[in-house]
Structure 1
Amino acid sequence: MSNHLILSGIHKPTKISPLTRAIQLTLTCLATQATFAADSDSHSVNTLQTITLQAEGNWLENANAEKVQKHAGARTIIDRKRLDEVAATSIKDALKQVPGVQVQENNGTGGSDVSLNIGVRGLTSRLSPRSTVLLDGVPLSFAPYGQPQLSLAPVSLGNIESIDVVRGAGSVRFGPQNVGGIINFATRAIPKDFAGNVSLTTEYASGTDQTKLSPSLFMGGTLDNGLGLALLYSGTKGNAYREANNQIDIDDVMLKTAYQITDADAVALNLHHYEGRGEMPEGLTAKQYAENPYQSNQSQSYFAGRRSDVSLRYTHQDERNNFELLTYYIDSFRTSNLGTNQQRQDGTPFKRLDNAPRDYSVFAIEPRFSRAYSIGNTQSEVTIGYRYMDEDSTEFAGRTDYAIDAQPGKFIARTSSKGGTKAHAFYIDNRFDLGNWVITPGVRFESIDTHNNFSAYKSGNLLNTVNPSIQSDEWLPSLAIMYKATDNWNIFANAGVSFGPQQYNQLATTNSKTGIAISTLDGLSPEKSNNYEIGTKYLGNGLNAELTAFYLDFNKELILERDALQNGYWTDLGATSHKGVELGLAYDFAYLADALEGLKIYSNYTFTKAVAEAGNFKDKDLPFYSRHTANVGLGYKVNQWTVNADMFAQSKQHSPGNQESGIYQIIESLDGKYGDIPGYSTFAVRTAYDFGEQYYGLKIAGGIKNVFDKQYFTRSTDSTGGKYVGQPRTFYLQTSFDF
């Protein structure tokens, strides 16, 4: 297999990696073994004829604990039952239950309630750029290739049935940003019989007099003719715990339809619309934070966006074949006003307002075919898939000055761009069941053509335009091996290559001195990482446990830095390594003794060491991740009562500053942007009562997050950087009933 990259019209061949050669050799050996078995053991063939084979196909579909157990890689599912039990009132709360996932508090330009900041295994968490994040298999990002950030995360907890986090052995099926794994949010399924549910969560932040409401509605069913319909709604209204973090207004609605054409054929159509707005408080200086960590002076700053998408899925499944055709169209818009304090040359203070409206559209079509077959004494499944994706991007950046307490004037253009991507992805994998062994080699091929016509302006007048483009062809091999030690215990290992193409804003920027538009193709390149895992899983007898050791070898990682004028620019951080251990555990004590029925424990712990392997910060920790994170929860159910207690903890993080300075800053800077971030732990409790069917399934729950009102913070280094206080003690009340 060849591996090459075309950059600025220059063809650069790359040698075949040892991992690629290993997979080629494995495929050859397996094919030889299968042929030998077929020729030498005809009795085995006759025996296997009585075995019913069925292709699994899309292993993200209807994910559950059993599917996780069979997956030859680190994977965790948080289902709705678990979400209802723990003190989770948001997607961010829910993801803290997953080993290896770190959730950053709202901060900087990702500081609104419509954004999502998650990092996996020490990868950057700001706007979640290095994981493939999906909603029912459809990408959540504005543009998966050119703009993968989740400054607008169009997903709400009330509509979610389960959260499936695949941290290993998924890069062949899904991409392109998959070094941080795959996160799939599965929405609530259409019920067979008519059912409905309405709920409301009310949160009150202690000491701030801020209240936030999160209503949700679900209703649906299947008609006698096989047509299924469901309406889902989830929203958030009100104010968060910071000043100028108010006027949160989020509406997330979905219409799901499904029709069973025949016993083997089905079609599903989903219509989804998300609209959200939230204010963004600024970061505080060290002095401001000491005076009042909840204050804000930037009432003009907000983030808003909308997304409309439609997806159509056709499936055919018979005894041995599984075919799926998924096509979707996404239309997204986002805008933001960002106010910052500035100073003129004579020392006179003034406020500046930046505006950044952006439009994106994505069309994709994804056919996938799987077939189960047997050769000799092997049972196998081969899957072949393809995806074509077409993206379009229009971005604008404007700026205006305005007096304090005055409304802004007209925005003067600073930059504008029109970008696009056409991408083809092909993949094939084959699962071989060889007795107790399951071996799955595979390869993904990405062919990507991206361009960005980027213009720079001065005082609203065009300076110049550059037209960078890049064409990338990448082979991404993978090999996963699982040994079934017992019916309950598996051991697995896998290796794969992950890939992140250059984004639109990584193709061009402005010169910080002259302001003219320049191409960055000569200085930046796509990202690649070799990922390795070895681990074990146990499921049964009340115990669900997973232990995984991981290693990510990033050959070139890109990082967003800031110059002296706080203008952002992308630079090559160089090689980085991410290694660590993840542990997930859940146990039902009823299997130990009848007297302990209703008592459960669930926990996770992750050790991560993510360091730079090159540059001025070589051997130093990467910014904004914790080496240690842990979550421990205890639940007890007796009759209609349920009580839960949860603890979350993370160790310190670093905000070391610009690596080009050569100074790894651990002491807090006056502006609050740089310096170490202390670790912390928080506790939460929740009590619920289920009134039962005679009261229409009425449930009432109350809880407290951050029971001991632990004050903690994070930092931001972007244009609105500084210190950001974490969530204070928060009381919440949840009510729901069925109809």
Structure 2
Amino acid sequence: MQPAFRLSGGAIGAALLFAQLAALPAHAADPAPAANPEATLNAVTVVGNWLENANEAKVLEHPGARTIVDRETFQEAGANNVREVLRRIPGVQVQENNGTGGSDVSLNVGVRGLTSRLSPRSTILMDGVPLAVAPYGQPQLSMAPLSLGNLETIDVVRGAGSVRYGPQNVGGIINFVTRPIPKTFVADASVSTDIYSHGGSVKTNPTAFIGGTNDNGLGGALLYSGIHGNGYRESNDHVNIDDLMLKGTYRISKTDELSAAFHYYEGRAGMPGGLTSAQYAADPFQSVRPYDNFDGRRSDFSLKYSHNDNNRKFEVLTYYTDSFRGSNIEQQGTGTQANLRRLTAAPRNYHTFAIEPRYSQLFRGESMSHEVSVGYRFLREASDEKASRTLFYTPGTIDPTTLRSPVYQSRTGGTTANAVYIDDTINVGSWTITPGLRYEFIRSYVTDNFTGARNDVSSNEPLPSLAVMYHVSDQWKLFANAGVSFGPLQYFQIAQTTNGLTPEKAKTYEVGTHFNANGWGGELTLFNIDFDDELQLRGGTGGAPDAWTNLGATTHRGVESSLRYDFGALDKSLAGLSAYATYTFTEATYNQGNFAGRDLPFYSRHVATVGMRYARNRWALNVDGFAQSKQRSPGDPSTSTNYQTAESANGALGDIPGYALLNMRLGYDFGKSAQNLKVAVGVKNVFDKRYFTRSTDNNAGKYVGMPRTFYIQASLAY
């Protein structure tokens, strides 16, 4: 067998070619003297990697729906995980912990009605490095290796990103940006504590940061964030997460920089599991899954060289990730074994190596400029996936962890992927037009280590896109874009290609506007996504465990909106008072089959947020509301003609009622005389609204939402 990570000659050649391009003089970027210098576009500078240094100015210039949430917002929302922050973003829907993603180690986020279970249909990055254990073969975030305390911003691009980033980008790109290395010495520490009204359980989030840069341009930072304690279920919801990062940078010259990062994540959490309808009615906070848990570890290293001047940007990013994720889940028997269980385990190891050179060149003219960007990525990943299980036993009569658990499934897999893109950002008059093309060359395989059977699949996919922006003014932009997104078959799906599964392909369209002026800011976007043949996990809805099925064509369409206002722009006496609101309408439906014309599962047609902030002197008051309409869990259209709305006995199927929550926070800043001590107290779910979600996978049932929760925050900075 060939080494898992032999770098191909093509990858090395491409990287060298990009390096040579970056070294060339930029004569083409220097136009002849203009007759009227004021008419030239000399003020234009090259953008390059538009995910870097994201801010509101970049959002305003982006030709698609995009939202950035910063660290101050995390803190004033009282959030202790990224789920609570992502709910504030239009078009993004986040499921409560449930099913086999039922712990704080996992992340369940969906965009525009796409499935949220383990976040499989968005390209999710941290500092530009994929978070998935295997971006092509296993994109699910059953382990999401990050903690909120280490983040500076969350950047969500819901459209116009499919050319530069992939795969699995039909749900856009989510980039978690870690705290940067400061220019001067900074040290701070903070802790927040959630205290749940039900059972008095406590969950703590400690955070620490130290870093700085010397006069020679050598900088470094050490980041730590964690989650420790118990959740609001009565048992088996203890969590221990530690997230550590070491970052370094060296400024070689005014235009050249070398940076590196080492990241280590380790998490273990119990999964209290789903409840049947009867169990939920008796006590929604109980757990009948004492042995279910999830654990994961990840080490990754990244190295980046970047060159940046007014006319060109060049960077080479390379990274290596080593991930382990494992789970123990009690599986319910069926038929004559309906009252029995067996304990299953699923240890899985993954390795990924990639190199990504990017080059952008700006060509200026008197009335037009072009920024031509080319990029390439070579990525190779390898997987080793096993599954074991005990014999069936009667629950409560034996400790199943003492039973023999032979391996019944063992597979190895791998992917070699080459992706290349080119786009041209053309600025002419009040227009910005960006045509682009990405081409994916993917080769994947899965081998059954018991039988020796091997399945090979390959995909060569052109993914064109076009984005257009009209600059009404410096503060108001109109945009439209169209593109094609692609989702290759994953390792589990490759193993069952005899069932006729095919890769996913979708066409996406957006029309909208950004604006930011006179205290007002916001966006309005209409979107449409057409899938040729969407895939869905059948799970506990009638198919075998981990079985996938083709849904056929589906459509996702709707409108996203956000509005914010700073009342200080109206009158100086109102300085410090601001408000925001968001609303999203989504309609995601089956287009064919038994459920044609009906809603897809686990998304809400209506989602809204509203909030107010008032800061005066050293005090800050925040009031935030969130609401979503009902969701569906109708069953499996490949095995049933009944679109189920009534609740099933096992709690997995049936409608999920909508709900609304209110949160409040009051904070005080003691200032520099007290080492910048900040303290705050708050309440989440002020009215203790009882709500729930469902799961239809191997840990099916009903899952109660977070009850009224009190929290305390404190931080010091030096």
Q: TM-score range by the shorter chain?
A: over 0.9
* Distance of 1:115 and 1:159 partners within structure 2: 17
One-letter amino acid matched to 1:353: L
Pairing partner for 2:631 from 636, 653, 666: 653
CA distance in 2, matches of 1:697, 1:62: 26
1:530 alignment counterpart: 507
Q: Sort the Cα spacing of 1:50 and 1:130 in 2 relative to 1 into closer, same or farther, 3 A.
A: closer
Q: CA 1:425 to 1:596, structure 2 compared with 1: closer, same or farther past 3 Å?
A: same
- CA offsets per residue over residues 402-443 of structure 1, 9 Å max, x none? 553424212112211000000000000000101100000000
Look up the match of 1:539.
516
Q: Pick one of 190, 194, 213 that aligns with 1:199.
A: 190
- Could you tell me how far apart the structure 1 residues matched to 2:301 and 2:678 are? 33
Residues 620 and 297 (structure 1), Cα distance of their counterparts in 2 relative to 1, 3 Å cut = same
Partner of 2:330: 339
Alpha-carbon contact 1:45-1:377 (below 8 Å) kept: no
Does the CA-based 8 Å contact 1:360-1:392 persist in structure 2?
yes
User: Structure 2 vs 1, CA of residues 619 and 587 (structure 1 numbering), >3 Å: closer, same or farther?
Assistant: same
**Partner residue in 2 for 1:447:** 441
Is 1:551 the counterpart of 2:528 in the alignment?
Answer: yes
Is 2:240–2:267's contact at 8 Å kept on the other side of the alignment? yes
1:406 aligns with 2:399: yes
Partner of 1:216: 207
Residue number in structure 1 paired with 2:709: 730
**Residue 306 in structure 1 maps to residue 297 in structure 2:** yes
Q: Give the stretch that moved more between structures: 46-55 or 188-197.
A: 46-55
Deviation at 1:82, TM superposition (A): 1.8
Is the 2:321–2:353 contact (alpha carbons within 8 Å) kept by the matching residues of 1?
yes
Counterpart of 2:344, as a letter, is: D
* Alignment check: 8 A CA contact 2:86 2:92 kept: yes
- Cα 1:691–1:571 change in 2 (3 A) is same
- Offset, 1:376: 5.2
Determine the structure 2 residue equivalent to 1:435.
429
**How far apart in 2 are the matches of 1:564 and 1:581?**
33
Residue pair 2:233, 2:272 contacting (<8 A) in 1 also = yes
CA distance in 2, matches of 1:644, 1:278: 31
Corresponding letter in the other structure for 1:352 = R
Q: Structure 1, residues 498-544: CA drift from partner, whole Å, max 9, x if none?
A: 110000000114xxxxxxxxxx1560111011000000111122111
What root-mean-square deviation, in Å, do the aligned CA atoms of Structure 1 and Structure 2 show? 1.8
1:101 corresponds to which of 92, 101, 104? 92
Cα 1:572–1:584 change in 2 (3 A) is: same
User: 1:732 aligns to what SS in structure 2?
Assistant: strand
Q: State the shift of 1:489 in Å.
A: 0.7
SS in 1 for 2:349: strand
The match for 1:181 among 163, 172, 186 is: 172
Residue 48 of structure 1, CA deviation: 6.3
Unaligned runs of 5+ in 1: 1-34, 456-461, 510-519
1:247 alignment partner in structure 2: 238
Q: Deviations over 1:120-177 (max 9, x none)?
A: 0000000000000000000000100000000000111100000000001000010001
Asked if 2 retains the 8 angstrom alpha-carbon contact of 1:581 and 1:608, the reply is yes
Are 2:694 and 1:704 aligned? no
> In structure 1, how many angstroms separate the alpha carbons of the residues matched to 2:168 and 2:316?
22
In structure 1, distance between residues paired with 2:79 and 2:41? 47
Counterpart check, 1:159 vs 2:142: no
- Select which of 685, 689, 692 maps to 1:713: 692
Match in the other structure for 2:548? 570
Residues 469/190 of structure 1: CA separation in 2 closer, same or farther (3 Å cut): same
- Matched position secondary structure for 1:485: strand
Q: Could you list the per-position Cα deviations for residues 428-459 of structure 1 after superposition, in whole angstroms to 9, with x for gaps in the alignment?
A: 0000101100000000000000000025xxxx
Q: CA–CA distance in 2 between the matches of 1:675 and 1:179?
A: 27
Number of the residue aligned with 1:474:
461
TM-score by length of 1: 0.90
Structure 1 CA distance for aligned equivalents of residues 372 and 489 of structure 2: 31
TM-score by length of 2: 0.93
Distance 1:723 1:570, change over 3 A: same
Kept after mapping to 2: 8 A contact 1:250/1:276: yes
Q: How does 1:637-676 map to 2 (within 5 A)?
A: 637-660=615-638, 661-676=640-655
Which amino acid in the other structure matches residue 196 of structure 1? A
Q: Check if 1:291 corresponds to 2:282.
A: yes
Number of the residue aligned with 2:586: 608
1:73-95 CA distance string (max 9 Å, x none) = 00000011222222322100000
Q: Identify the match of residue 308 of structure 2 among 314, 317, 332.
A: 317
Q: How do 1:678-689 and structure 2 match up within 5 A? A: 678-689=657-668
Task: Give the paired residue count.
Answer: 684
Please point out which of 328, 344, 347 is paired with 1:357. Answer: 347
Aligned with residue 597 of structure 1, among 575, 596, 608? 575
Name the structure 2 match of 1:6: none
Contact 2:40 2:365 in 1 (8 A): no
Indicate yes or no: 2:415 matched with 1:421: yes
For 1:377, which of 332, 356, 367 is the aligned residue?
367
Q: CA separation in 2, counterparts of 1:298 and 1:363?
A: 37
Name which of structure 1's ranges 367-376 and 209-218 shifts more when overlaid on structure 2: 367-376
Output one character per residue of 1:203-261: Cα deviation in whole Å (capped at 9) or x when no partner. 11102221101000011000122110100000000001113343310000000000000
CA gap of 1:150–1:84, structure 2 versus 1, over 3 A, is same
**Cα contact 1:168–1:533 (8 A) shared by 2:** yes
Do 1:626 and 1:652's aligned partners in 2 also have CA atoms closer than 8 Å?
A: yes
Match in the other structure for 1:498:
485
- Tell me how far apart the structure 2 counterparts of residues 619 and 448 of structure 1 sit (CA, whole Å): 34
1:323-365 CA-to-partner distances (Å, cap 9, x unmatched) read 0100000000000000134378387x43310000000000000
Aligned to 1:8: none
Residue in structure 1 matched with residue 62 of structure 2 by the alignment: 71
Matched, 1:395 2:385: yes
Decide whether aligned partners of structure 1 residues 484 and 521 sit closer, same or farther in structure 2, where only a CA change above 3 A counts.
Answer: farther
1:607-633 deviations in whole A, cap 9, x for unaligned? 000001111111000000000001101
**1:566, 1:719 within 8 Å by CA — same for their partners in 2?**
no
**Counterpart code for 1:225:** N
In structure 2, the CA distance between the partners of 1:694 and 1:719, relative to structure 1 (3 Å rule), is same
Distance 2:33 2:572 in 1: 51
Q: How much does 1:54 deviate? A: 2.4
Following superposition, the deviation at residue 597 of structure 1 comes to 1.0
Q: CA–CA distance in 1 between the matches of 2:34 and 2:180?
A: 44
Whether the 8 Å contact between 2:237 and 2:272 is mirrored in structure 1 is no
**Do 1:244 and 1:280's aligned partners in 2 also have CA atoms closer than 8 Å?**
no
Identify the range of structure 1 (562-571 vs 318-327) with the bigger mean alpha-carbon deviation.
562-571
Is residue 239–residue 247 contact of structure 1 (8 Å, CA) maintained in 2? yes
Q: Is the 8 A contact 1:447 1:472 kept in 2?
A: yes
Give the C-alpha shift of residue 46 in structure 1.
7.0
- Helix, strand or coil at the partner of 1:289: helix
Quick check: 1:53–1:373 contact (8 Å CA) kept in 2? no
Counterpart of 1:229 in 2: which secondary structure?
strand
The answer as to whether partners of 1:87 and 1:646 remain within 8 angstroms in 2 is: no
Q: Name the structure 1 match of 2:123.
A: 132
Match of 1:690 among 643, 665, 669: 669
Q: Which runs of 5+ in 2 are unaligned?
A: 1-27
Instruction: Give the residue type in structure 2 aligned to 1:80.
Output: R
Q: Residue by residue, what CA displacement relative to the aligned partner does 1:645-698 show, whole Å, maximum 9, x if unpaired?
A: 011000000000111211100000111110000000010000000000111110
| Conservation of the 8 A alpha-carbon contact between 1:602 and 1:632 | yes
